Amino acid sequence: MIELKPFLSERVWGGDELKRLKKISTEQFPTPLGETWEISTHIEGESRVCLDNDTQTLKQYLKKELSYLVKFISCEDNLSVQVHPHDEYARMHENSKGKTECWIILDVKDNGGIYLGFKPGITKEIFQEKVLHNQDVSECLNFYPVRPGDFFYVPAGSVHALAKGVTLVEVQQSSGVTYRVWDWNRLGLDGKPRELHVKKSFDVLNFNADKNNLNAFRFQPDVFSTIEQNVLAEHEDFQLKIINMKKNDKKSITVDPAKTTSIVFLNGEFRNNNQTVRGYSSYLLSGSVLDVECVESGSFLLVK
């Protein structure tokens, strides 16, 4: 396993929680930390390879771009109400991939939750009226209280926002395209309102009732409780698998050598050969077999 160093992303809604979890000092990153881009070859934030004194980016090391991107996200304020475009629209208007993503909730404080999808009966016209008059559009959205282990699949076109107090891991297409519909009437870190993308948002928002419920978002509770390897998501650009282990368990996992496989440790403590790893850390698999021993019960992801 090759350790990866994340790109650290400042966000107005971020704070100190990810710094604490990843042991990043305030001196090292004095501003609000919202996201750590753990596995990324994206131009807006590349992770780096930790090999002796090697300072290569992941893209330089792999000599290619990955089709997926993995982040830890922790919000100490609400994220904007937003939507991501699908591939065709993003390619046409942004010269980019679209952005379908999925989340595993890792921690939640202060009765946190997620806004995801439109409530029954909300039409484009009703939502547009709210947006144009700068009203609280969250009233139009489903709000789900969450617990650690909750899984959600969020297709492009789905309206969403994370509420304050939520920490999660996100696996997504390698894209940075986000359209903000509404931003809680707050100011950005520069003291000015953040840019909204109302026209583009309405171009891609999906108001179909069948696409705005928990079935559409493939909700699974407590994915940390499964015994065997569990494939949580299959997408053209990524496969997401979770492995849960108990103390003293040992596993030898074979992966496809033709695909770049990344490992994201979420919690617990593990050993790979003489390497001890803990939660909130990410690695690149350097071979086709992962031999891992569980020191303290926990979970990790395989992404390819």
Q: What is the mean pLDDT of residues 146-151?
A: 97
CATH code for the part of the protein at 2-211:
2.60.120.10
> Of the given ranges (34-38, 81-85, 187-191), which has the lowest mean pLDDT?
187-191
Q: Point out the residues that are catalytic.
A: 180
CATH topology classification for 225-303: Jelly Rolls (2.60.120)
Write the pLDDT tens digit of every residue in 209-246: 999 999 999 999 999 998 777 999 999 999 999 999 99
| Domain limits, the chain | 2-211, 225-303
**Percentage of the chain surpassing pLDDT 70?**
100
The values of phi and psi at residue 67, to 5°, are -85, -10
Alpha-carbon distance of 22 to 160, in angstroms, equals: 26
Write the pLDDT tens digit of every residue in 25-53: 999 999 999 999 999 999 999 999 988 77
The answer to whether 196 touches 183, Cβ cutoff 8 Å, is yes
Given 3-state DSSP classes, what are the helix, strand and coil percentages for the chain, each rounded to the nearest 5?
15, 40, 45
**Model confidence at 188: pLDDT above 90:** no
Q: What is the mean pLDDT of residues 117-146?
A: 96
Alpha-carbon distance of 255 to 135, in angstroms, equals: 49
Write the pLDDT tens digit of every residue in 278-296: 999 999 998 888 999 999 9
Give the angle 13-187-39 at the CA atoms, nearest 5°: 35
Q: What is the mean pLDDT of residues 135-157?
A: 97
